[in-house]
Structure formats: C-alpha cells, structure tokens
Amino acid sequence: MLASPCVLPSTALASLSLSAKKNFTSDSRNQCSSLRQQFVLNFGSRMSHHRQMHPFMAPFSTYKRVHSPAIISSVMTDDTSTVSSADENMKDIGILRHDPSLEPFKDHFKYRIGRYSDVLNLFDKHEGGLDEFARGYLKFGFNREGDGIVYREWAPVAQEAQIIGDFNGWDGSNHRMEKNEFGIWSINIPDIDGKPSIAHNSRVKFRFKHGNGVWIDRIPAWIKYATADPTRFGAPYDGVYWEPPPLERYEFKHPRPAKPEAPRIYEAHVGMSSSEPRVNSYREFADFVLPRIKENNYNTVQLMAIMEHSYYASFGYHVTNFFAISSRSGTPEDLKYLIDKAHGLGLRVLMDIVHSHASNNVTDGLNGFDVGQSTQDSYFHTGDRGYHKLWDSRLFNYANWEVLRFLLSNIRWWLEEYQFDGFRFDGVTSMLYHHHGINTAFTGNYNEYFSEATDVDAVVYLMLANNLIHSILPNATVIAEDVSGMPGLGIPVSEGGIGFDYRLQMAIPDKWIDYVKNKNDEEWSMGEISWNLTNRRYSEKCISYAESHDQSIVGDKTIAFLLMDKEMYSGMSCLTEASPVVERGIALHKMIHFITLALGGEGYLNFMGNEFGHPEWIDFPREGNGWSYDKCRRQWNLPDTDHLRYKFLNAFDRAMNSLDDKFSFLASSKQIVSCTSEEEKVIVFERGDLVFVFNFHPINTYDGYKVGCDIPGKYRVALDSDASEFGGRGRVGHDIDHFTSPEGIPGVPKTNFNNRPNSFKVLSPARTCVVYYRVYESKEKENGVSAGASETHATDVVLARDEEGEISKIEGDDDVHSSKIEDFPVRED
C-alpha cells in the first residue's frame, strides 16, 4: 500500500503512565511510597494515580488466613514520558527497511518500541522477567500449596470477602478472606485428614461486599472450569474446582507436529459439529470430525468457542471465564484428548483467543468484578472507553499491570496446559485503535495507522503477547484478525513490528460475496479479482479465505447457498441432469475457493462444512427460532452420500489441498500474474513451479489458448476442476504433453509474451481452472536442474498484465520455491 506520509505530532506523546513495580521484603515496605518509576504505554490523555505495590513474596505457612503476597495494580504518575533510554538502540529499526515509506513515522515506532522496552525492563526488574510474570495462574485462583489450598483474588474495591461453595454449604462465615494493602484477597484452606477440603469437581464462588454494603457472588476470575445446571433453563454458571486425581488426569501421548511451511487451516466449532441437532462433545469431534479434516489434507485445525461463554449464540466471542474451557462440550480432560488426537494425526491446533473484549455479563463473567470503581482498580476502562457499543461488551485496560498479568498468563495457560500450537487473535482491529474501527474506512493512507487514534497500550500488549508466545513455543502460529491492514502487524517484534506470523485477508471474502450477490457473470472483472487477491504487503504473510464462519451466520449465506439457493434442496442428485444453476454453482464454487487458495496469501482457511458447499446458514438456538438446534449442526451425510453432488465439491477441496502438499506452492514467494483478460474472462498466473489457468467465462471455451510461463520444457495437467471426479465434463486431457516455445529475447520482458519468456498452448473450457506442472526428464534430474536455475526466471518482481497490455509491478523477491513431489514424474530437490 502507498500512503501520503505525515510526521507524528509531538503532542501525541502525551501519555498514560504506570508506575514500576518493586521487589520488597517485609522490611522494606516503607520504601514503597518513594517508588515512582514511570511506565508509559499510551498516546493521548494524562492521568495521575498513586498507589503502593510489590510482587509475590515467599510462600506462606498454611494458616487458615494468609497475608497474601501482593500483586500491584497499575500506578499512574504525572512524569513526562521520554524515549531517550531506548534512543541509542533504535537508530536502525528493521520495519523501516521493509518499507522505507514508513520513515516519516519513525518517531511513532521509536515511541512504541520504547514503551515496550520499558515494560520488559520492569518485568525483568520486579517480576523476574516476562516469562515469570506470565505464570500468574500458579498464584491466583486455586492452587495447592503445602497441605492446603490457597485461593487468591484481585478485588481492590471489595470491603469484605469470603470463599463459598459446596464444601462449606455455601456459608462463608468460617472462610473469610483477608485483604492486604494492595487489593489481594487470600485464604489458605487446610486439608482435612490428608484430603483437600474442597473436593475435585465441586462448585465454588467468590463472595464479596462492595461500597454500598451489598454482598454479591461471582465466579473466581482465574477459575479453570465453570458449569451451569443443565436441568434449569438460563441457570447461572458456577465456578468449579478442577483438580482431578492423578489417575483421572489426561496425559498427552503425542508430540506437537512440526510447523508446516504454509498452514491450511480448517476452522471448526466443536459444539455445532454434530450431524444431529445438539451440542457435540470434544471426544466425538476428536473421533469423528478430526479424521475428516485429515482426509481432506488440512494440516491445521482452528478451534472456535473454546473459552467459556455463557451465551452459546455468541459463537464464543463473548467470553465470561478466560481460563475455563466451554463446559457444554465436556471437561478439560476431554479437550486435552481432542488436541492429543489431532497431534497424533499430524494436525496442529490453534485456538481462537479473545483478548479484545469481554462479555458484559455480570453474573457469570469477569465484568461482575466491576462495581463502579476507577479504572486502575478494574480489568476494564471506565466510561465510553470501557464499552464497545456495537458488541455490547467491556474493553480491557491494557495499561493496567494486573490486566497484563491476567491476559499474558492466560496465553501461557492455553499453550502449556492444553498444548495448543498457536492462536488466532480475534478483534485485533478493535484493539489497535481508540475508535475500534467503528465507522472507519481504511484506505491505506499511513496516517490512518499512526496517529493519536492508535491505542499504543493495546499495541504494546500485542507485542508482549507475541514475544511471550514465541519464547514459549518458537514454532507457534499466531494469526491476527485485522481488517485495517496496519503495516508492521506481521513483522517480528525484534524489528519494530507487532509480531504476528500471519494476518487474515479479510477483504477477500467481502469481494466474493459482493460479486456473487450483486454482479452477473459478464460483470466480473478479472483485473479486480486478481488485484483483490494480490493486494497485500508481501513482507507480511497472510491467510486467505473465500468464506469463514462470518459468511455462514444467520442473516447471510454461504457462497454455495448464494450460487444455488433453493436448488440445493432439489438439484444436487446425480441421478438427474444438473440444472444450469447447479452446474454454474458447482463450477464457480470450485474456482472461487481454489483461486483464493492459490493466489490470495501464504496460507488458507476454510470454515467447517464450506468445503462441500454446506447448504443454509448457521442459526444458534435462541428465542427467535424456538431454541432449535436444527441449523446449528453440520450435515456430514451430504458429502458421504454417493448420489449427491456435494461429494464433488468435497473431493475437489481434498485435491487442491493435496496439490499444495505435493508442490508447496503456497510457501513459494514466486507469484506472477501474467494475464487478466477482461474480454476472455481469463486469469493466468504462476505460483511456485506451477502454472494456473482460470477461465471464468460463462460459455466460451478456448482451444489452443496461449499461456506464458517462466521455465521452458514439457508441462502436464496437475489438477483440473473439470475432471469427472469433481463433477465436471472431463474435457481436458490429462495425458497430453504441452511443450513450450520461446518468446522474444531472453531477459527482455517487453519482447516476451505477457512478459513471460516461454509459452505453451492449452484447452481452457468455460468456468474451469486447470493447473500445469513442469515435467523434468531423467537427465535433468541427474544434473540437478531446477526452476531456480533458469536464466529467464523471475527474480525480484511480480508482474501483472491486463488485456490492454499495461504492466503493474506488485512486489516480490527472488525466492523461487521448489519441492519434492511423489505422484508426478518430476525432479527431486
């Protein structure tokens, strides 16, 4: 993207400051009041709050009540922020080498890198480092310490507090907690006759009295399991003490699979994965759905709605209990079984993590700890800044020390306790900007990304989160759901970026939905389709997708349903001839998903069921549909029924994933669009060593169609959407050799055909896509000839040519990827 540069105004460096933490012994607490080391995170307003603080002290003896080790909340100062401490180390900011047009915003990057460095220094000085800081779950919540259970909760505005539950008949009068001067309530509950006083799988809650003298019951913030009475409609959730005996704990058997060169992600929702109208379980998903995912050649599963959410229809995005798994589908041990089963199949597992906001539910969720206090005593901002008006949810104060501890520890918990292989961070756009992306159209102008609208508190949190994730699991996969396209989101933290491995290409599904809904076939623009798929920052990797769960929810339609609508109910039988609507729908469904995979990014994502064109929409049980589960399930019987055409879409999905397995074209940076013909409705491009030909014309078939390529030699069909096994007419011969002819002067693109040094001719039927691979003869194998050895191969640019012959430089580099394949007579690396 290009932008008109603007220097960040110095006034933007007004800041929200947090005081540093200090390690204290009991003899040095009087030093606390002198501690005013600044901790600056945020552009914008200045706030001043002064509080005392210190981190955990040594473990205490097992008395009934414990003087809890104190964990500080945010401490604000009026000190003016400077970045001088980091200036000397920021003369060469890596992100500016990736994109020199960011140079005018160097002050912004210096500022946020400085703030990030300050936080890390404070962690090092007062918490034992980021790694140790993110182990909060070992102290907060319920933990075994010595011969008892110690429970700790941060609730600085509470006046009195008790722990209640099944273990004491919900009477907390004998289990009153003590609060230290830092807002930490704690209690040690000794074992009785060598057994824990709180039984495993028994219910617990935190009861506290706040400023108006009212006692309220809340689920502990760090609870690891929460359930509701299934026999009571709308029953509130209870916290559950989860500490199974050794024989009942699930032990992982399989190591994490290696990180793939390019993730092919299957986005799944466990609860709605059953073919029956009910909530599915983790174990059923593991046993019956995971093998399907593996069979279709995906290498990664992305699980939605894992974090506990009391409202099922929120799709898991209104989280109530951040350390607890969704109890609708089973127990923590059941989820571990699922993840271990996936690893045993060679599938990596990502979690859809929601740190952008929290449920507004006060009865069951974290919001219940907010009783009107100031922001430094809360997990959330106060006033409008603490509320997302479109999502009806609460917004975290990422400048608060305890919020950082809570969220960073949450990340570590999911990675270590459940062995997840990474995350998809939801709602990142909302985090990055104070306006949360509401009523904001991002045009690519850099001023939209680096201004006082940027929420640097959240940016620094995300930098810390990605640092932590990759320090715990260096080969983790971390994806950002961001629609704004902020530069640097996918650049390593060490180079001044935010540190994600991938961003979602969210503009792609919007474009497809617009085309399918609003344009007839003759209006489809090959140049616009190509541009939309390739319009990304090539120094930052992207995950492409044609549709996800967003396009499947009630009120919208999937691509298959938009293309075929009511004929999906009556016209999908192979026992009758396909109608024009069904024939068009099946052909375009294959083409849309395949060109998105092949041209849209460095990874690919598909939502559960869309691979076979699942009909209808997703509608969670709610009052408006009579609390029905009928449309909150997946009809796996459709692709499994031999006489239904759904099997063709499923088979093609399997084949296109297999193609990447064999040729690794997604991992290749060689991506060259050589033809976008509006008249012929044809797109031709190269990705890795393959040549792709997409003919979107509704009726025209081109015999002897000339396509440009890089490497001379013999080409054959690698994948053909028109093959009979994919529901096509079988018009393209797969045993035909296509020999290239040289074009123009070697090394002089303007004399070549579509700027390609070689060409060959193919048959291109209407509404089909065909992929060709270069056949390497035995002598070439022996001599080690590879695509990279071609003197005419593309080196450092990616070119696109429209039908008028105009050339546009997109971007690229000289890494031409080659890979070993098994099913074709080609060279081996």
Q: Kindly list the catalytic residues.
A: 426, 481
Rounded to the nearest 5°, which phi and psi values hold at 641? -85, 120
**599 near 665, Cβ under 8 Å?**
no
Tally of CB atoms within 10 A around 195: 8
- Which residue type, as a one-letter code, is found at position 84? S
- Which residue type, as a one-letter code, is found at position 163? I
Helices 526-534 and 580-599, axial angle in degrees (round to 10): 40
Which residues does 383 contact at the CB level (< 8 Å), separation at least 6?
none
Please tell me what DSSP assigns to residue 802.
B
d(CA 585, CA 565): 9
Q: Can you tell me which residue has the tokens 């120094």?
A: 539
Distances (CA, A) of 287 to 25, 185, 196, 612: 53, 43, 35, 20
Which residues does 662 contact at the CB level (< 8 Å), separation at least 6?
819, 821, 822, 823, 824
Question: In this structure, is the dihedral angle defined by the CA atoms of residues 596, 600, 602 and 604, taken in order, positive or negative?
Answer: negative
Residue 797: half-sphere exposure toward Cβ, Cα within 13 Å: 12
**669 near 264, Cβ under 8 Å?**
no
Tally of CB atoms within 10 A around 615: 21
Rounded to the nearest 5°, which phi and psi values hold at 23? -75, 130
Q: Which helix (H) or strand (E) holds 781?
A: helix 778-783
What per-residue string of b and e applies to 685-702 under the rule 16 or more CB within 10 Å gives b? bbbbbbbbbbbbbbeeeb
- Which residue type, as a one-letter code, is found at position 36? R
d(CA 686, CA 690): 6
SS (H, E, C) 205-250: EEEEECCCCCEEEECCCCCCCEEECCCCCCCCEEEEECCCCHHHCC
Retrieve residue 529's tokens.
């389709």
Of 518, 606, 609, 516, nearest in space to 563 by CA: 516
Of 578, 546, 544, nearest in space to 562 by CA: 546
Tally of CB atoms within 10 A around 766: 19
